[in-house]
């Protein structure tokens, strides 16, 4: 029983098929340049012996592996898990190898910080391309990566790293949807609770400001900054607002986690403030939470990422937008004049 896991090598397959090891190698790297006759012989032999290429050897020899590295910024954020799942399904279907890894760690206090080794070690593996899901601090890190490594950023920092292509929701439209919805419900005093990391957060801020202006609410523009992008931050900042001398009637949050934290604060305070999230994660759909939230078009984002990952000729520095939609739920209420 318990097979010794001594996997056959390319040379054994070659012997079995009666060809050279180089031929076997070719069959597994560029099969089209091998005659059909031999290809079949090799494939049969490989099948018989249960051969599968060795990752390590391949990466070492070619100085580039045959797998995709997926870096999830933060395991704590369900949005990322959802996007990751979508993409992984596609990759599995295509039979592509990939590694999924996470860059952020949360300390005892729940504060996220960057795990420096992770990025380093995944790059050591020489992936053929890198997919970053979400925003990681210190984008400069990405700049220092091998130049030929294609980088795709899903739902993360839009600018700042020229070599990467980015797929994300159209933040401006997203925030316009939010503001318009709130305005329609009679709100004027609408605060935006902004994200903590530059990129996306900045775009949402300007989307918010623009939408406010277009609704003639220029004088109500108020942006609150946050320490991190999680529920604790939302909770804290919301409390500050509640205790301020001018609490808003509605708040447009950077993401669902923020919103959930903010909602927790309003419940605790026994005060009613309309809250909108962003990401439409599974949490927002729960009856306990029932959060109006912007659906960023995750499906579309994931599909586009997978397309980019799967296509051969990768174009750097392109921006792809998914169209967000607003999912209204009970957390936003018509203002009682």
Contacts with a copy of itself by CB under 8 A lie at 2-5, 54-57, 59-60, 67, 72, 75-76, 78, 80-82, 84-85, 88-89, 92, 97-102, 105-107, 110, 115-118, 121-122, 124-126, 143-147, 231, 260-261, 263-265, 267-268, 282-283, 286-289
In the complex, least distance from residue 116 CB atom to DNA, rounded to whole angstroms: 19
**260 interface partner picked from DNA, a copy of itself, none, CB below 5 to 8 A per type:** a copy of itself
**Out of 3, 4, 5, 35, the residue judged to bind DNA by CB under 7 A:** 35
Structure token pair of residue 126: 């020489």
Structure token pair of residue 180: 């318009």
In the complex, least distance from residue 270 CB atom to a copy of itself, rounded to whole angstroms: 11
The reply to whether 43 sits near DNA by the rule CB under 7 A is no
Residues 64-103, interacting with DNA (CB under 7 A): 64
**Cα(234)–Cα(106) distance, integer angstroms:** 16
Distances (CA, A) of 306 to 131, 208, 237, 299: 9, 30, 36, 11
Apex 244 CA angle, 241 and 245, nearest 5:
135
Structure token pair of residue 40: 């079949």
Distances (CA, A) of 210 to 156, 172, 178, 213, 287: 21, 8, 12, 5, 32
The reply to whether 3 sits near DNA by the rule CB under 7 A is no
In the complex, least distance from residue 265 CB atom to a copy of itself, rounded to whole angstroms: 8
Q: Write the burial class of residue 4 (CB in 10 Å: 0-12 exposed, 13-18 middle, 19+ buried).
A: exposed
The reply to whether 7 sits near DNA by the rule CB under 7 A is yes
The reply to whether 31 sits near DNA by the rule CB under 7 A is no
**Closer to a copy of itself by Cβ: residue 55 or 185:** 55
| Binding footprint of DNA on the chain (CB under 7 A) | 7, 9-11, 19-23, 25-26, 28-29, 33-35, 37-39, 51, 53-54, 57-58, 60-64
């Amino acid at each position: 029983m318990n097979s010794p896991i001594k996997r056959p090598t390319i040379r054994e397959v070659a012997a079995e098929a009666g060809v050279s090891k180089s031929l076997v190698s070719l069959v597994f790297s560029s099969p089209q340049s091998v005659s059909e006759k031999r290809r079949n012989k090799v494939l049969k032999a490989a099948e018989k012996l249960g051969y599968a290429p060795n990752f390590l050897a391949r990466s070492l020899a070619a100085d580039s592996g045959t797998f995709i590295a997926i870096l999830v910024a933060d395991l704590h954020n369900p949005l990322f898990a959802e996007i990751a799942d979508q993409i992984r399904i596609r990759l599995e279907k295509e039979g592509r190898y990939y590694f999924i890894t996470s860059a952020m760690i949360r300390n005892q206090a729940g504060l996220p910080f960057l795990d420096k080794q992770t990025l380093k070690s995944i790059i050591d593996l020489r992936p053929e391309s890198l997919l970053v899901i979400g925003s990681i601090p210190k984008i400069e890190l990405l700049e220092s990566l091998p130049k030929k490594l294609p980088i795709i950023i899903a739902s993360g920092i839009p600018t700042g790293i020229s070599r990467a292509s980015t797929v994300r929701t159209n933040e401006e439209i997203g925030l316009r949807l939010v503001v318009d919805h709130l305005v329609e419900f009679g709100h004027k005093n609408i605060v935006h609770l902004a994200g903590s990391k530059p990129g996306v957060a900045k775009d949402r801020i300007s989307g918010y400001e623009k939408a406010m202006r277009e609704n003639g609410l220029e004088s109500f523009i108020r942006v609150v900054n946050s320490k991190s992008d999680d529920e604790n931050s939302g909770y804290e900042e919301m409390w500050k607002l509640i205790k301020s001398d001018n609490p808003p009637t509605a708040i447009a949050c950077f993401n669902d986690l923020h919103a959930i934290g903010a909602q927790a604060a309003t419940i605790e305070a026994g005060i009613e403030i309309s809250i909108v999230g962003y990401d439409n994660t599974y949490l927002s759909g729960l009856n306990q939470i029932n959060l109006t939230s912007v659906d960023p078009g995750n499906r579309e984002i994931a599909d586009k990422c997978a397309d980019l990952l799967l296509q051969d000729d990768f174009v750097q520095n392109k921006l792809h937008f998914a169209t967000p939609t607003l999912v209204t739920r009970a957390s936003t209420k018509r203002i009682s004049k």
